[in-house]
Amino acid sequence: MAKIALITGASAGIGYAAAELLLKNGYGVYAGARRVGKMKDLGELGGKVLALDMTSEASLVAAVETIYKEEGRLDILVNNAGFGAHGAVEDVPLEEARRQFEVNLFGLARLTQLALPHMRAAGGGTIVNISSIAGKLSMPAGGWYHASKYALEAYSDALRLETAQFGIKVILIEPGPVRTEWDNTALVNLEKYSGSGAYGPLVKRITEKFRAGYRSGAPGPEAVAEVILKALRAERPSARYAVPFKASLIIFLKWLLPDRVLDRVIRRALGA
């Protein structure tokens, strides 16, 4: 019997790639996102498409109820939906910062709350939370996004310890530089909130770095999808998977270098 997975943020990037790969490997997939039209091809592959808004209680409840009505179970939850409210922490309105946490953490946590009782009753399940190396290392003009991912790391660690007794696995995926449309959204927000004013020169340098090919040579979202599949297939998965190798290297340098030295490296790289 095919395992049933719900993947959030499945209209593009990592979520779309993961949904496509799982479908091709025999999983039953419910693909959730606000942009339903962008998931048409997943439906043609045999996936079930759901309208899903991570900031709406009604939408989250409806998604879980639909899956249990149709399938009677949910084996895998891939919490992928997220965005970057980039800009200097001084500039980003607190309303937008709260929305950042609502999507990247609280919506994820609420969906997990809805799924857990069913997984517990079934005697097990797997929750995959898509974090980022941004949850390990902070860069200027991304403070609220980093904060949401740092919080997700801590949340996931606690969840893993709490649910292990019920046979429920909690896995963190920590992507580094990967080519997705996420960058475009982040850069739009960056320009919107901090493109002028005191942080304007810094934002200009950051934008130039991205436009000059910060992610040149970086793999596409398919590389992350492959790691998700690997983790799901593992009998005893690791708590964390960093992808690609460059992400592991960045995390190692964060561990190795004193804060003062790392700050100097980052500022020099950005000309700050």
| Main-chain phi, psi angles of 90, to 5 degrees | -75, -30
Query: Is pTM beyond 0.85 here?
Result: yes
Give, for all 272 residues of the chain, the pLDDT tens digit. 899 999 999 999 999 999 999 999 999 999 999 999 999 999 999 999 999 999 999 999 999 999 999 999 999 999 999 998 999 999 999 999 999 999 999 999 999 999 999 999 999 999 999 999 999 999 999 999 999 999 999 999 999 999 999 999 999 999 998 887 766 777 888 999 999 999 999 999 988 877 665 556 778 999 999 999 999 999 999 999 999 888 999 999 999 999 999 999 999 888 76
Number of other residues whose CB lies within 10 A of the CB of residue 257:
13
- Give, in order, the Cα–Cα distances in Å from 203 to each of 5, 85, 105, 141: 39, 14, 26, 7
Could you give the number of structural domains in the chain? 1
What pLDDT, on a 0 to 100 scale, did the predictor assign at position 182? 66
What pLDDT, on a 0 to 100 scale, did the predictor assign at position 208? 83
Domain that holds residue 8: 4-270
Q: Which residues are catalytic?
A: 145
What pLDDT, on a 0 to 100 scale, did the predictor assign at position 213? 58
Q: 266: domain CATH number?
A: 3.40.50.720
| Main-chain phi, psi angles of 131, to 5 degrees | -95, -135
State the residue for tokens 């398919």.
222
